Structure 1
Amino acid sequence: MPHPSLKAVTLTHVRYHRGDQLGHFLAWISLVPVFISFGGFVAHFIFRRELQAMFFAVGLLISQFVNEVVKTTVQQARPVTCELLEMCDSHGWPSSHSQYMFFFATYFTLLMLKGIGLAQTIRNKGFAFSLAWSMAVLTMYSRVYLGYHTVAQVFAGASLGLVLGGTWFWVVNSLIFFYFPAIEESRFGRMFYVKDTSHISNVLQFEYDNARAARKNMAARKVMDPKST
């Protein structure tokens, strides 16, 4: 028995029954929000510095803050299976995992429909939609299957994620969007090379063409002046 004064960091603390292959798979699915946060958004900031992605991440943080406020206010217990999962010291309504993934899927879908993002063709968009929503549904199912939440708790999280995702997308792209040029030109924007490419119809082609043009210009300068570097 763990000491009552000790508390584990539960960021990746997901349990499943030994030998349960489906449970093992769903345990990894349950960690998708962690992969998106620390793998997706951190890597995106390091390599791309897009304002749309930054405000996407801010929205997810706001959504999680709202989730904690609601959980603390409602204080609905998790199901009895939490006793086997060492999760009885936290509230269960609404499910933060479900809320996170449905916020993500909603905002991501609206970005694609608006023509913002790397998936430009209909085939790529279809794949992106399918992946985002399948991960959202599987995450919701995993939280019930693994015993962390009731059905009502995951549906409450999914509903709140849908509403907050749609609302935040409207706020960013109807209100904050007009300040993107100012943010780009600000001291912060210039220091961290923050940019907005949402006005470019095909970002991949734009970056590809400019990278090739820059390489050709560099090669031409070397031919004209072999001593140049």
Structure 2
Amino acid sequence: MDDPPLASLSLTHVHYNPADRISYLCAWLALVPQALCVVYVTLIWSTREAEVILMFAGQMACEAFNWCLKRYIKEERPRQMNGKGYGMPSSHAQFVTFFSVSLTLFLLIRHQPQASATHTPTTFLQRLLLSVLALISAAAVAQSRIYLNYHTPKQVLVGCTAGGICAVVWFIIVAYLRYSGWVRWGLDTDFARYFRFRDLVLTEDLTDAGWARWEERRRRRDIDGKKRT
């Protein structure tokens, strides 16, 4: 019997012009959504932070919304493109816009880091610069979809608009869940306590990550060592 024809898992399959360095860079930018998913899962597993889990839930809801929009609008990709599926709106543009806008809203509005005895939190200016960097990176990913002829400018613009709207709406929903006590209730459940979910990132600085506790432990260790000598 003849071997069955093989199929390609096109999750990271990107067409680009090997003679064009910008096209090569754009091909790497096309992998940003997959990389962000890895970052999400890694942070959820390592920190168990409620805010990260909620942001990832919003990200997946935004992706589901994009899936529905594509099959409702049914607009084809540019003719030069050999890819499959509908192109309106751009899922890459919508994904990275949701992420960058959500991160910006968190850093500039919801995140209120507090100083400790051993750590000075990031300033508002530093968080603003990080937000601008995230937005610029999202714009680069969105532009790369046009450069590689995966989407038309209109498809990318609609994707960015949809991602931004989803980010703002989800930020408001999470604010309501926090204000009404649903987040606190969820964290008090046996399920959340078993998996050690927490909600510290609102006031704990992003770069601290337990540094104050480590410094205190190190200080006590040095004191105990001097007593023994």
Greater shift in the superposed pair: 7-16 or 204-213: 204-213
- 1:186 corresponds in structure 2 to 189
- 1:99 corresponds in structure 2 to 94
Output one character per residue of 1:136-160: Cα deviation in whole Å (capped at 9) or x when no partner: 1111110010010001100010000
CA distance in 1, matches of 2:99, 2:172: 14
Deviation at 1:203, TM superposition (A): 5.2
CA distance in 1, matches of 2:73, 2:130: 35
- 1:110 corresponds in structure 2 to 105
Query: Are the aligned partners of 1:33 and 1:97 in contact in 2 as well (CA < 8 Å)?
Result: yes
User: Structure 1: 5+ residue runs without aligned partners?
Assistant: none
Q: Are residues 1:127 and 2:129 paired?
A: yes
Number of positions where the alignment pairs a residue of Structure 1 with one of Structure 2: 217
- 2:19 corresponds in structure 1 to 19
CA distance in 2, matches of 1:100, 1:193: 28
Query: Are the aligned partners of 1:29 and 1:135 in contact in 2 as well (CA < 8 Å)?
Result: no
CA distance in 1, matches of 2:133, 2:33: 14
DSSP-derived class of the 2:210 partner: helix
- 1:147 corresponds in structure 2 to 149
Output one character per residue of 1:32-86: Cα deviation in whole Å (capped at 9) or x when no partner: 1111111x11110121111001110000100000000110111110010123xxx
Q: Return the TM-score normalized by structure 1.
A: 0.84
CA 1:115–1:70: 2 relative to 1, 3 Å: closer
Deviation at 1:6, TM superposition (A): 6.1
Greater shift in the superposed pair: 9-18 or 174-183: 174-183
User: Structure 2: 5+ residue runs without aligned partners?
Assistant: 114-120
CA distance in 1, matches of 2:104, 2:178: 19
Q: How does 1:155-194 map to 2 (within 5 A)?
A: 155-176=157-178, 178-194=181-197
Structure 1 residue runs of 4 or more that deviate by more than 3 Å after TM superposition: 201-206, 214-225
